[in-house]
């Protein structure tokens, strides 16, 4: 397991159907969560020159499909 990672993502509020609604952060009392969609660094190694699909696979390997409220 890596010690440090840098991800790109956004904080969103999933609606009742599980769709992510960015604007709801300000408008609703639902619990926000972080949705990571790109892995930029692992343990100080810059991954931005790697293929996007490879970075996404590594991101899933590291954190899985979990949501972080």
What pLDDT score was predicted for residue 67?
55
Domain residue spans of the chain = 5-63
What pLDDT score was predicted for residue 32?
80
Q: How many CB atoms lie within 10 A of CB 51?
A: 9
Residue by residue, pLDDT tens for the chain (69 residues) are: 789 999 999 888 877 787 776 667 777 777 788 888 999 999 999 999 999 999 999 999 988 876 555
Residue 6 to residues 28, 30, 69, Cα–Cα distance (Å): 28, 26, 18
Number of Cα atoms under 13 Å in the Cβ half of residue 34: 7
What pLDDT score was predicted for residue 34?
83
What pLDDT score was predicted for residue 1?
76
CATH class in words for 5-63: alpha beta
What pLDDT score was predicted for residue 43?
95
């Amino acid at each position: 397991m890596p010690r440090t990672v840098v991800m790109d993502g956004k904080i969103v509020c999933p609606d009742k159907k599980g769709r992510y609604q960015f604007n709801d952060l300000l408008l609703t009392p639902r619990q926000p969560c972080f949705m990571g969609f790109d892995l930029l660094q692992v343990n100080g190694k810059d991954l931005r020159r790697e293929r996007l699909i490879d970075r996404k696979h590594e991101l899933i390997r590291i954190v899985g499909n979990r949501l972080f409220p």
